[in-house]
C-alpha cells in the first residue's frame, strides 16, 4: 500500500471578480515510503498548491487523498494538524527560520507540539540532529549570523527533528547558489534515505529534480510523469506512451512567466 495517494485531486479558487480559477485539474499521484519524487514546472502552475495539499496545509476541492490508509477528507482540522506535525517535515525556499531564536531553538520548535519524551527532551534531540547536519558547533547562533547554506541546513534539521514519514521540500535550493544548493540536496537526500522518509521536492531546477527516483511535470494543473536524461532532454509520458518532442522539452532553468490569468504557484 502506498504511503500517500492522490486520486483525481482538483483545487480551484473563486477570484474577486467571481470567476473560478482551476489550479489543479485531476492530479493523481502515489508515493511509497522512502521514495524520492520530484515535481518540476513553471512558476504559477500549481506546484506549491500541490505541496500544500500533500502536507495537509490545504484541502482539495474534489478528489481523494489517502495518507497511510486514512482518507484525509474524513479527519477533523485538529486531527489533520496532528498528522501534519507527526508525519510531515517542511523545507521552504526562504528557510522560514523563526527570528530571534537560535539554531537550536529553531530546530527544537516543532517538538513543542510533540508529546511525551520527545517534548521534554527536545533540546537534546535538536542538538543531535544539528550535529548530524554538521552544525553541532553553531547551536547558539542566531539565523542571521548563518550563511544561506547553513540556514537551509538548520531548516532541514528542523524538518527532520520529529522523524517525519514525508519530507516536503518547496524549492529547497531556490535561494542558494549552485554549489551550495548541490550540497544541501545531497544532505537532504542522504538524511531522508537514512531515516526512511519519502522526499517530495518541487523545483525549477532540473539538476535538483534529477536526484529523485521518479519525476513529474506539472503543467496546466495536471501532473505528467517525465524521464530526465541528459541536460535539457526530457521525455514526457502520456499514459504508457512516451512523447519526446521539442515542444515538451523543459528548460534547465524555469523563468517566471506568471500572468494574472495563470494559477498561483
Partner 1 sequence: MTGVVGAVVEAWDELRIHKVRVLLALIGVAVAVTAITGITAAAQMMNQVFTEQAERFGGRATTLMVSAWPTGSTTPSPETYDAEFTRVVERYGIEYASRELFTQLIFRFPTGAQQVQAQVVDVDYGAMRRIQPVQGSWFVPSDVDRFAPALVVNETFLAQLGVEELGAPVTVVLGGDDPVRSTVVGVLKNSWAEEGPTVMMLSEHFARWATPDPMWGPVVPSLSLWVPPELADELTGLVRRDLQAALPGTRAEVYQQGEGFDVLEGGVRWVITGIGGVALLLGGLGLVNISLVTVRYRIREIGIRRSFGATSARVFFGVLMESVVATAVAGAVGVMLAIVVIKNIPIEQIFGTPLDDVPPFPTSAAVVGMVSATAVGALAGLIPAIVAVRVKVIDAIRY
CB of 133 to partner 1, least distance (A): 18
Neighbours of 93 (CB within 10 A): 19
Q: What are phi and psi of 43, to 5 degrees?
A: -60, 140
Shortest Å distance, C-beta 219 to partner 1 = 21
In contact, 223 and 39? CB cutoff 8 Å: yes
CB of 119 to partner 1, least distance (A): 4
Residues that bind partner 1 in the complex, under the rule CB under 8 A: 48, 52, 55, 57-58, 77-78, 81-86, 88, 90, 92, 96, 98-101, 105, 109-110, 112-116, 119-120, 162
**Residue whose CB is less far from partner 1, 76 or 253:** 76
The CB-of-187 to partner 1 minimum distance in angstroms stands at 20
Q: Using N-to-C axis directions, what is the helix angle for 122-132 and 148-160, rounded to 10°?
A: 130
Nearer to partner 1, 48 or 173 (CB): 48
Q: Cβ closer to partner 1: 144 or 240?
A: 144
The set of cell numbers assigned to 44 is 504559477
78 or 124: CB nearest partner 1: 78
Give min distance, CB of 43 to partner 1, in A. Answer: 13
* Percentage helix, strand, coil for the chain under 3-state DSSP, each rounded to 5: 35, 25, 40
**Secondary structure (DSSP) of 49-84:** HHHHHHTTSS--SEEEEEETTEEGGGS-HHHHHHHH
In the bound state with partner 1, the residue whose beta carbon lies nearer, of 35 and 171, is 171
Q: Rounded to the nearest 5°, which phi and psi values hold at 64?
A: -125, 140
Residue 251 DSSP code: P
Q: Report the nearest approach of partner 1 to the CB of residue 130 (Å).
A: 17
Q: Is 4 helix (H, G, I), strand (E, B) or coil?
A: strand
Q: Which is nearer to partner 1, 53 or 226 (CB)?
A: 53
- HSE-CB at 6 with a 13 A cutoff on CA atoms is 24
Smaller CB separation from partner 1, 164 or 181? 164
- In Å, what is the CA distance from 186 to each residue of 125, 143, 171? 22, 21, 14
Taking the complex as a whole, the smallest distance from the CB of residue 179 to partner 1 amounts, in Å, to: 27
Residue with cell 558547533: 137
Amino acid at each position: 500500500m502506498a504511503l500517500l495517494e492522490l486520486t483525481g485531486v482538483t483545487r480551484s479558487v473563486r477570484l474577486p471578480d467571481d470567476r473560478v480559477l482551476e489550479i489543479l485539474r485531476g492530479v493523481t499521484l502515489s508515493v511509497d515510503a522512502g521514495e524520492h519524487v520530484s515535481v518540476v514546472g513553471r512558476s504559477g502552475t500549481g506546484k506549491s498548491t500541490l505541496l500544500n495539499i500533500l502536507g495537509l496545509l490545504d484541502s482539495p476541492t474534489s478528489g481523494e487523498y489517502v495518507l497511510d490508509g486514512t482518507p484525509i477528507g474524513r479527519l477533523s482540522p485538529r486531527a489533520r494538524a496532528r498528522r501534519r506535525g507527526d508525519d510531515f517535515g517542511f523545507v521552504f525556499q526562504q528557510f522560514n527560520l523563526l527570528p530571534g531564536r537560535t539554531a537550536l531553538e529553531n530546530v527544537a520548535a516543532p517538538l513543542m507540539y510533540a508529546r511525551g519524551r520527545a517534548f521534554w527532551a527536545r533540546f537534546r534531540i535538536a542538538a543531535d540532529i544539528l550535529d548530524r547536519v554538521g552544525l553541532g558547533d553553531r547551536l547558539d547562533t542566531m539565523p542571521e549570523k548563518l550563511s544561506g547554506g547553513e540556514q537551509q541546513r538548520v531548516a532541514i534539521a528542523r524538518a527532520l527533528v520529529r522523524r517525519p514519514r514525508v519530507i516536503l521540500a518547496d524549492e529547497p535550493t531556490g535561494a542558494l547558489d549552485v554549489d551550495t544548493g548541490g550540497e544541501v540536496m545531497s544532505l537532504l537526500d542522504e538524511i531522508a534515505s537514512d531515516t526512511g522518509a519519502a522526499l517530495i521536492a518541487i523545483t525549477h531546477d532540473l539538476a535538483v529534480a534529477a536526484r529523485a527516483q521518479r519525476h513529474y511535470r506539472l503543467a496546466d494543473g495536471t501532473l505528467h510523469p517525465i524521464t530526465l536524461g541528459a541536460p535539457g532532454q526530457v521525455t514526457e509520458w502520456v499514459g504508457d506512451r512516451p512523447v519526446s518532442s521539442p515542444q515538451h522539452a523543459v528548460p534547465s532553468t524555469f523563468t517566471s512567466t506568471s500572468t494574472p490569468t495563470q494559477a498561483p504557484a
